[in-house]
Amino acid sequence: MNISIFVADGSHAKYAQAICDEIYLSAQERGTGIARRTPEYIIEKMNAGKAVIALTDEGEFAGFSYIETWSHKQFVANSGLIVNHKYRKIGLASKIKERIFRLSRELYPDAKIFSITTGLAVMKINTALGFKPVTFSELTDDEEFWKGCEGCKNFDILTRNNYERCLCTGLLYDPMEHIKIDIK
């Protein structure tokens, strides 16, 4: 079985409902929060070239992730990372995350890239890519981003703590920390 990862486009819209269903099911199984997205939102990301999708050679949905910009493109969020249950435990999440990270760097080379998660596996993947754990105060202060958390079952925790703490961990990649200087 071969799985390929592509930058998604409008031709992948037929997978949007399956992606939303898998995201919701995974959140229920883990008992953790996740911002719910509609198929229309997922399709919007695909049409804009701001998503990656993993498909088997037979055309079956295997995984997905998308990006969103915040604070006038100073921040990029890597979001919605999901792997179809059938294709878990084979390293696919790492490959999808690496591809969405590269897409973020290609489209927004100067932006800080962030992710919030409750999942240890995602924390490990992000750390391997150069992300560091940070407090929420180091992430975007864009109110629209935090509205995306309203669908999460832990939203009350976030609001009770004035958007400073929740059950999620914030992870940040600052490209300025990864610049190599050639000194002669």
DSSP assignment of 133-184: EE-GGGS---HHHHHGGGGSTTHHHHHHTTTS--SSEEEEE-GGGG------
DSSP assignment of 17-86: HHHHHHHHHHHHHHT-------HHHHHHHHHTT-EEEEEETT--EEEEEEEEEETTTTEEEEEEEEE-GG
pLDDT band at 184, cuts 50/70/90?
Answer: low
The torsion angles phi and psi of 142, rounded to 5 degrees, stand at: -65, 115
CA distance 10 to 130: 31
Q: How far is CA 99 from the centre of its chain?
A: 11
Higher local confidence (pLDDT), 131 or 179: 131
Three-state DSSP class for residue 129 = coil
The answer regarding whether domain 3-178 maps to CATH 3.30.70.920 reads no
Q: Where are the domains of the chain?
A: 3-178
Amino acid identity of residue 58, one-letter, is E
pTM of the full structure: 0.88
Give the tens place of pLDDT for each residue, 91-148: 999 999 999 999 999 999 999 999 998 888 889 999 999 999 999 889 988 888 888 7
